[in-house]
A and B are shown apart, each in its own frame.
Chain A
Amino acid sequence: MDPVNLHPAPVPSLEVSGLAYAYPDGHQALFGVDLTVARGERVALLGPNGAGKTTLVLHLNGILDAGAGTVRVAGLPVEKRHLAEIRRRVGIVFQDPDDQLFMPTVREDVAFGPATAGLRGPELEERVMTALRRVGMEEYAARPPHHLSFGQRRRVAVATVLAMEPEILVLDEPSSNLDPASRRELADILRSLDVTVLMVTHDLPYALELCPRAVILSEGVIAADDRTQDLLCDDALMRGHRLELPFGFDPRSVSVPRP
Chain B
Amino acid sequence: MGSGHAHRLYRHGHSPVHALPPHCKLAAVLCFVVVVVSTPREAVWAFALYALLIAAVAAVARIPPGFLLKRLAIEVPFVAFAVLMPFVVPGEQAELLGVPVSVPGLWGAWNVLAKGTLGVAASVILASTTELRALLLGLQRLKLPPLLVQIAAFMIRYGDVVTDELRRMSVARRSRGFEARGVRHWGVLARTAGALFIRSYERGERVHLAMVSRGYTGTMPVTDEVTASRAQWAHAAALPALALVVCLLGWTL
Q: Taking beta carbons and an 8 Å cutoff, which residues of A are in contact with B?
A: 61, 63, 84, 87-88, 90, 92, 94, 96, 98-100, 102-105, 108, 111-113, 115-117, 120, 124, 142-147, 160-161, 164
Tell me whether A111 and B207 are in contact in the complex, defined as CB-CB below 8 angstroms, given that A63-B213, A104-B157, A116-B216 are known contacts.
no
Q: Which 7 A-B pairs have the closest CB atoms?
A: A115-B221, A113-B214, A116-B215, A99-B206, A100-B210, A104-B133, A92-B213
Q: State whether A103 and B157 are in contact (beta carbons under 8 Å apart), knowing that A94-B209, A115-B221 are contacts in the complex.
A: yes
Give the residues in chain B near A108, CB-CB below 8 Å. 223-224
Q: Inside 8 A of B224's CB, which chain A residues have their CB?
A: 108
Bound CA–CA A113/B215 (angstroms): 6
Assess A87 versus B212: contact at CB under 8 Å? Given A102-B157, A144-B5.
yes
21 A/B residue pairs, CB under 8 Å, sorted by A? A61-B213, A63-B212, A63-B213, A84-B215, A87-B213, A90-B213, A92-B213, A94-B206, A94-B209, A98-B203, A102-B158, A111-B223, A115-B223, A116-B214, A116-B215, A120-B223, A142-B1, A144-B5, A144-B157, A164-B214, A164-B215
Contacts of A144 in B (CB 8 A): 5, 157
Q: Mark B192-216, 1 if CB is under 8 A from A, else 0.
A: 0000000000010011011111111
In the docked arrangement, what's the CA distance between A203 and B207, Å?
24
Alpha-carbon gap, A187 to B167, bound state (A): 32
Set of chain A residues within 8 Å of B136, measured between Cβ atoms: 104
- Given known A-B contacts A108-B224, A116-B221, A146 and B212 have beta carbons under 8 A apart: no
Question: How big is the B interface, by class?
Answer: 20 to 34
| Interchain CA distance A84-B209 in the complex, whole Å | 14
1/0 per position for B84-100, CB-CB distance to A under 8 A?
A: 00000000000000000
A99 to B221, CA, bound (A): 19
A142 to chain B, nearest CB (A): 5
Q: Which residues of B contact A100 (CB under 8 A)?
A: 210
Question: A94-B206, A104-B133 known; A116 and B217 CB under 8 Å?
Answer: yes
Of the residues A63, A98, A105, A147, contact of B133 by C-beta under 8 Å = A105
Binary A-proximity of B1-22 (CB < 8 A = 1, otherwise 0):
1000100000000000000000
A160 to B215, CA, bound (A): 12
Is B160 an interface residue when CB atoms closer than 8 A count as contact?
A: yes
Q: How far is the CA of A147 from the CA of B5 in the complex (A)?
A: 7
How many angstroms from the CA of A201 to the CA of B158 in the assembled complex? 27
Within the complex, what minimum Cβ distance (angstroms) separates A24 from chain B?
A: 15
> Which chain B residues in 1-56 approach chain A with CB under 8 Å?
1, 5
**Is A102 within 8 A of B133, CB to CB?**
no
Task: Look across to chain A and name the residue whose beta carbon is closest to the beta carbon of B211.
Answer: A102
For A90, the chain B residues whose CB sits under 8 A away are: 213
B178 at the interface (CB under 8 A from A): no
Chain A residues with Cβ below 8 Å from B211 are 102, 112
A63 and B209 contacting across the interface, CB-CB below 8 Å: yes
Q: Which chain B residues border A142 with CB–CB below 8 Å?
A: 1
Q: Across the interface, which residues of A come within 8 angstroms of B223, CB to CB?
A: 108, 111, 115, 120, 124
Bound CA–CA A100/B214 (angstroms): 10
For residue B72, CB closer than 8 A to chain A, the reply is no
Q: Is the CB of A99 within 8 A of B203?
A: yes
The listed residue (A61, A63, A143) touching B1 by CB distance below 8 A is: A143
Give the chain B neighbours of A99 by CB distance below 8 A.
203, 206-207, 209-210
- Quick check: is B161 within 8 A (CB to CB) of the other chain? yes
B136 CB to closest chain A CB (Å) equals 7
* Of B5, B203, B207, the contact of A143 (CB 8 Å cutoff): B5
Q: Report whether B161 and A146 are in contact in the complex, using a CB–CB cutoff of 8 Å.
A: yes
Task: Considering the complex, give the chain A residue whose CB is closest to the CB of B215.
Answer: A116
A12 vs B160: C-alpha distance when bound (angstroms): 42
Alpha-carbon gap, A104 to B134, bound state (A):
10
Q: Would you call B166 an interface residue if the criterion is a C-beta within 8 Å of the partner chain's C-beta atoms? A: no
Taking the closest CB of chain A, its distance from the CB of B215, in whole angstroms, is 4
**Within 8 Å of chain A (Cβ to Cβ): is B142?**
no
7 other contacts beyond A92-B213, A94-B213, A102-B211, with CB at 8 A cut-off? A84-B217, A87-B215, A94-B210, A99-B210, A111-B221, A115-B221, A115-B223
